[in-house]
């Protein structure tokens, strides 16, 4: 009351002064001695004084009208606060009536701002009251805005999307095994990852409320409550994005959690991540950006800021998992997962650049590129570790039966499955020298390495091809080392024949052929054939020598004695070979048959000639086996099951 009591005398004083001035002007104008110019000046002054009086009257009437309207609007807004229900739940009519009321308060504030020339005037008090009412209404609209976003959230069902987990993507905990597992062949394969997709968006919020959300946003922005509106949006959509990750079964894991995880569990989560991140980015984030544009599109780059702030946390959560995988141990079995993760990130890079644009999206773009770089380094390091692991693979005992070593199977199947990533590997390995990655290995066979790299000019010289041939050379060198663990020279060549033949066949019958080249295949076909000949020579040369003719004997008695001894020695030698080499194993049916045929031509044929030439000189009891018997016994060789010819029965 004290303020009003001091204002009233001032206002009254101003009115009296204007009236007195008008009276004085009238008196002066009645003076007949005034010049024409003076009369015009007094007339103009009188008009101005009259205008001042009229404005003052109108101002008083305007303030009264504003106060009356403010009281009405304030009553409506404050009265709505007493109702705990949400306004938009009461129907569109009531909601828009509330919006109109709030907008009227905003307009009153604009009128009061234009009237407030006197700091201590009545208008200032009304302006303060109007701002209080508007602030109360804005708080309510912020709550309504968030409520509409949350209550009208559309269910997200990834199984209805075009990206779905195929049967080939089902996690097999045994899909990657160590060098010590002899069942590696065929167990490595690339998971199927869709390279193309139909880019489309879905409605994350019921389309029926988009107009309501836009109206609320517009009013809050016009009322300078844009920050509060954006905060409400970001908060609601952050929760929705977290729910999306939950639906996609992408749990929040720290780097420490990932590094401590067992491989089978981590492998499963990586497969899920590779599948889900494409859905998340291409469908969910694209839809999220579209929603932000629909609501805030009229306010310039605000929609982009809201989208980035809402999605950044969840996007960084996905990238954090990728980073954790990339910095983990560089075990060979991880390479396929690393390549899958790299490829899906590289595939999505244009999408990320298209969504996280300008300075506001730079933090996500930078982190995304950093994770891609980490995967590049991790892939290179893992390949280097793979090569080193081959070169340093230790064995305490030789492989029984001289068959195909599990290391050979592992490496060749590993390389075969890497061909699916040809373009990616060529890009990642470009400029990454073989020497740099294998300098730690001191077990390389220099001759083998030089032999393979010398043909690079006539073969595929891509980074991947050079690397694959180098890996094969490393493997071959290690196989030579392992062959020396056999005391039997024949078994050394037998082992190398099996393994080099396996390598050559794996290359010739797969996608590895254009990578290694026909020259490499011819060279290794010759190598395994040479080992086969060396095996036959070491096994049968002494035995075949027993059947060679050494000239005429001095007497028939001595001749018969020598013949008996030679047949007996041959029988003993054959029985020994039979006993030992039935336990040896040639897994490849064609190679097994070829070696039996070669042995038959060199050994059985010589025995057949020797037997037919001397059968008349000895009785049947001295000729223990016929040539046909031996031919049949050859069929038991290389089956991997030891047998004996003691007390044999004729077949």
Same domain as 470, residue 335: no
Residue 223 in contact with residue 295, Cβ under 8 Å?
no
Same domain as 285, residue 333: yes
Same domain as 399, residue 303: no
Tokens matching residue 407: 């290391």
Q: Check which CATH number belongs to the domain holding 571 and give it.
A: 1.20.1280.170
Domain of residue 208 covers 181-383
> Is 163 part of a structural domain of the chain?
no
Same domain as 253, residue 356: yes
Which DSSP string do the residues of 605-623 spell out, in sequence order? HHHHHHHHHHGGGS-GGG-
Separation CA 379–CA 428 (nearest Å): 8
Residue 531 in contact with residue 493, Cβ under 8 Å?
yes
Tokens matching residue 140: 């309510």
Same domain as 573, residue 522: no
Separation CA 310–CA 289 (nearest Å): 10
Same domain as 83, residue 121: yes
Q: How many CB atoms lie within 10 A of CB 608?
A: 17
Q: Which of 540, 569, 588 is the last residue of a domain?
A: 540
> Is 253 part of a structural domain of the chain?
yes
> Is 362 part of a structural domain of the chain?
yes
Tokens matching residue 468: 């694959």
Separation CA 320–CA 277 (nearest Å): 13
- Out of 72-81, 198-207, 358-367, 424-433, give the one with best mean pLDDT: 358-367
What's 130-164 look like in SS3? HHHHHHHHHHHHHHHHHHHHHHCECCCCHHHCCCC
Same domain as 532, residue 553: no
The per-residue pLDDT for 564 is: 85
Q: Which tens digits make up the pLDDT trace of 226-265?
A: 999 999 999 999 999 999 999 999 989 999 999 999 999 9
> Is 172 part of a structural domain of the chain?
no
Number of domains in the chain: 4
- Top-confidence residue, 570 or 442: 570
205 φ/ψ angles, rounded to the nearest 5 degrees: -130, 145
Residue 614 above 70 pLDDT? yes
Same domain as 357, residue 212: yes
Q: Which of 383, 407, 436 is the last residue of a domain?
A: 383
Residue 550 above 90 pLDDT? no
Residue 388 in contact with residue 161, Cβ under 8 Å?
no
> Is 103 part of a structural domain of the chain?
yes
Instruction: Output the CA torsion sign for 367, 372, 376, 378.
Output: positive
The rounded percent of the chain whose pLDDT value lies above 90 is 56
- CA-to-CA separations, 434 to 116, 471, 473, in angstroms, rounded: 80, 10, 12
- CA-to-CA separations, 14 to 17, 27, 125, 283, 347, in angstroms, rounded: 5, 20, 21, 70, 77
Averaged pLDDT, 509-525: 95
Tell me 585's DSSP state. B
Query: Which of the residue ranges 51-60, 255-264, 632-641 would you say has the lowest mean pLDDT?
Result: 51-60
Q: Which of 383, 416, 443 is the last residue of a domain?
A: 383
Residue 614 in contact with residue 630, Cβ under 8 Å?
no
Long-range contacts of 448-455 (CB under 8 A, 24+ apart): 448/473, 448/476, 448/477, 448/480, 449/473, 449/474, 449/477, 451/523, 452/520, 455/517, 455/519, 455/520, 455/523
Same domain as 477, residue 413: yes
The per-residue pLDDT for 45 is: 62
Q: Which tens digits make up the pLDDT trace of 1-34?
A: 344 343 334 334 445 555 555 555 555 555 656 6
Q: Is 547 helix (H, G, I), strand (E, B) or coil?
A: coil
The per-residue pLDDT for 85 is: 85
CA 213, chain centre distance (Å): 35
Same domain as 359, residue 428: no
- CA-to-CA separations, 240 to 152, 291, 294, 309, 546, in angstroms, rounded: 11, 12, 17, 13, 87
The per-residue pLDDT for 136 is: 92
The per-residue pLDDT for 177 is: 45
> Is 355 part of a structural domain of the chain?
yes
The per-residue pLDDT for 108 is: 87
- Top-confidence residue, 168 or 256: 256
Residue 368 in contact with residue 345, Cβ under 8 Å?
yes
Q: How many CB atoms lie within 10 A of CB 19?
A: 12
Separation CA 6–CA 21 (nearest Å): 24
Separation CA 227–CA 579 (nearest Å): 89
Separation CA 205–CA 647 (nearest Å): 87
Same domain as 568, residue 486: no
End-to-end CA distance of the chain: 132
- Top-confidence residue, 551 or 494: 494
Residue 447 above 90 pLDDT? no
Long-range contacts of 570-574 (CB under 8 A, 24+ apart): 570/543, 570/546, 570/607, 571/624, 571/625, 573/542, 573/543, 573/546, 574/543, 574/625, 574/630, 574/633, 574/645
Residue 516 in contact with residue 471, Cβ under 8 Å?
no
> Is 499 part of a structural domain of the chain?
yes
> Is 170 part of a structural domain of the chain?
no
Separation CA 598–CA 579 (nearest Å): 19
Same domain as 208, residue 337: yes
The per-residue pLDDT for 557 is: 43
Q: How many CB atoms lie within 10 A of CB 566?
A: 17
- Out of 7-11, 43-47, 178-182, 279-283, give the one with best mean pLDDT: 279-283
């Amino acid at each position: 009351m004290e303020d009003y009591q001091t204002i009233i005398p001032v206002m009254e004083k101003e009115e009296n002064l204007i009236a007195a001035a008008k009276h004085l002007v009238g008196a002066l104008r009645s003076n007949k001695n005034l010049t024409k110019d003076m009369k015009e000046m007094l007339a103009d002054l009188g008009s101005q004084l009259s205008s001042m009086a009229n404005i003052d009257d109108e101002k008083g009437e305007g303030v009264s009208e504003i106060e009356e309207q403010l009281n009405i609007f304030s009553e409506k807004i404050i009265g709505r606060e007493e109702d705990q229900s949400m306004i938009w739940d009461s129907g569109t009519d009531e909601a828009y009536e509330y919006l109109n009321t709030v907008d009227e308060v905003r307009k009153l504030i604009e009128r009061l701002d234009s009237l407030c020339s006197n700091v201590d005037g009545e208008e200032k008090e009304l302006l303060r009251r109007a701002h209080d009412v508007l602030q109360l209404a804005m708080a309510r609209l912020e709550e309504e805005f968030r409520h509409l976003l949350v209550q009208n959230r559309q269910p997200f069902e990834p199984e209805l999307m075009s990206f779905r987990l195929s049967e080939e993507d089902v996690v097999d905990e045994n899909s990657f095994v160590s060098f010590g597992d002899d069942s590696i062949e065929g167990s490595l394969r690339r998971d199927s990852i869709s390279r193309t997709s139909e880019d489309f968006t879905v409605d994350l919020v019921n389309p029926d409320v988009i107009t309501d959300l836009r109206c609320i946003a517009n009013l809050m922005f016009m009322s300078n409550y844009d920050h509060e509106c954006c905060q409400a949006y970001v908060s609601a959509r952050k929760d929705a994005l977290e729910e999306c990750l939950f639906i996609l079964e992408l749990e929040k894991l720290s780097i420490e959690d990932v590094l401590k995880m067992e491989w089978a569990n981590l492998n499963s989560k990586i497969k899920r991540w590779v599948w889900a991140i494409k859905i998340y980015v291409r469908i969910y984030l694209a839809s999220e950006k579209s929603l932000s544009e629909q609501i805030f599109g009229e306010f310039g780059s605000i929609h982009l800021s809201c989208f980035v702030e809402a999605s950044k946390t969840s996007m960084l959560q996905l990238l954090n998992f990728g980073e954790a995988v990339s910095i983990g141990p560089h075990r060979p079995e991880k390479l396929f997962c690393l390549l899958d993760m790299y490829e899906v990130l590289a595939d999505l890079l244009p999408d990320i650049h298209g969504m996280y644009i300008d300075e506001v999206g730079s933090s996500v773009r930078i982190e995304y590129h950093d994770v891609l770089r980490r995967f590049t380094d991790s892939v290179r390091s893992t390949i280097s570790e793979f090569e080193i692991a081959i070169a340093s693979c230790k064995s305490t005992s030789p492989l029984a039966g001289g068959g195909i070593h599990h290391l050979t199977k592992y490496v060749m199947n590993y390389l075969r499955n890497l061909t699916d990533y040809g373009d990616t590997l060529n890009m990642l390995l470009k400029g990454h020298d073989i020497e740099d990655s294998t300098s730690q290995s001191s077990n390389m066979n220099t001759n083998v390495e030089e032999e393979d790299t010398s043909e690079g000019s006539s073969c595929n010289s891509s980074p991947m091809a050079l690397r694959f041939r180098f890996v094969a050379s490393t493997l071959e060198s290690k196989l030579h080392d392992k062959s020396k663990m056999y005391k039997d020279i024949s078994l050394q060549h037998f082992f190398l024949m099996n393994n080099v033949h396996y390598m050559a066949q794996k290359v010739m019958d797969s996608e590895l052929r254009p990578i290694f080249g026909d020259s490499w295949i011819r060279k290794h076909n010759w190598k395994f054939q040479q080992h086969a000949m060396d095996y036959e020579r070491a096994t049968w040369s002494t035995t075949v020598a027993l059947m060679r003719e050494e000239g005429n004997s001095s007497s028939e008695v001595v001749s018969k004695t020598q013949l008996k001894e030679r047949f007996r020695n041959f029988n003993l030698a054959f029985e020994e070979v039979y006993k030992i080499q039935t336990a040896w194993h040639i897994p490849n049916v064609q190679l097994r048959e070829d070696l039996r045929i070669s042995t038959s031509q060199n050994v059985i044929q010589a025995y057949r000639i020797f037997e037919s030439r001397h059968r008349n000189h000895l009785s049947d009891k001295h000729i223990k086996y016929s040539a046909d018997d031996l031919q049949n016994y050859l069929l038991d060789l290389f089956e991997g099951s030891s047998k004996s010819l003691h007390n044999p029965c004729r077949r």
